[in-house]
Amino acid sequence: MHHRASLVLFASSIALLSACGSNDGNGVPDSGPPPVDQCLSSTDLAITRPDAGMADGGVFSDTGDAVRECALGPCRDIGLAGGDITECVKTCFEGTVYAGLSDGCLGCYIDTFNCGREHCVVECLGSDQAACDACFDVYCIDAFASCSGLEPI
């Protein structure tokens, strides 16, 4: 359940960023089917898996929290302008364990950030955590699991 709680914290933070005026997506039209199994390389698994020695371990807890911290910190203005935060997050990750994430795996986390920004703003801004959880269950969890190949707990 820790991963779900971290995902919800991630969602709530997204909602706050969205409420400040960002739009959804990065303005780039869809270009084919969504990616799958992007976080299954040995390098990505070493960073994202609970058994890899991470403090809390976990699919969304540590890595999702790190993306959120970058998105709401140094990448905030890009996000508020509705821009693609990918390159900014990569820069933010320089010198950290997360710098080793593949572009595909990082993209799954950023897509989930954008999913919450697009679909769950109202639900995650309020005090009803169950509504925020339900929104992520409907709109974002399955897409993250498919994209990453990781099972959210």
CA 117 to chain centre: 10
44-74 residue pLDDT tens: 988 887 554 444 444 455 788 888 788 888 9
Could you tell me if 7 and 66 are in contact, meaning their C-beta atoms sit under 8 angstroms apart?
Answer: no
Residue 115 falls within a domain, yes or no? yes
pLDDT, tens digit, for every residue of 98-120? 889 999 999 998 998 889 889 98
Q: Which domain holds residue 111?
A: 2-18+37-148
Res 33: pLDDT:
84
Biggest distance spanned by C-alpha atoms of the chain: 39
Looking at the domain assignment, is residue 32 inside a domain?
A: no
Give dist(CA 76, CA 51) in Å, integer: 31
29 phi-psi bin (left φ>0, alpha ψ -120 to 50, beta other): beta
Within a domain: 53: yes
Distances (CA, A) of 105 to 19, 120, 123: 26, 22, 26
Does a structural domain hold residue 13? yes
Residue 153 included in any domain = no
How many angstroms separate the Cα of 122 from the Cα of each of 21, 84, 117, 133?
A: 13, 22, 10, 12
Whether residue 31 lies inside any domain: the answer is no
Please report whether residue 23 resides in a domain: no
What percentage of the chain reaches a pLDDT higher than 90?
Answer: 29
Q: What is the number of domains present in the chain?
A: 1
Q: For residue 101, is it within any domain?
A: yes
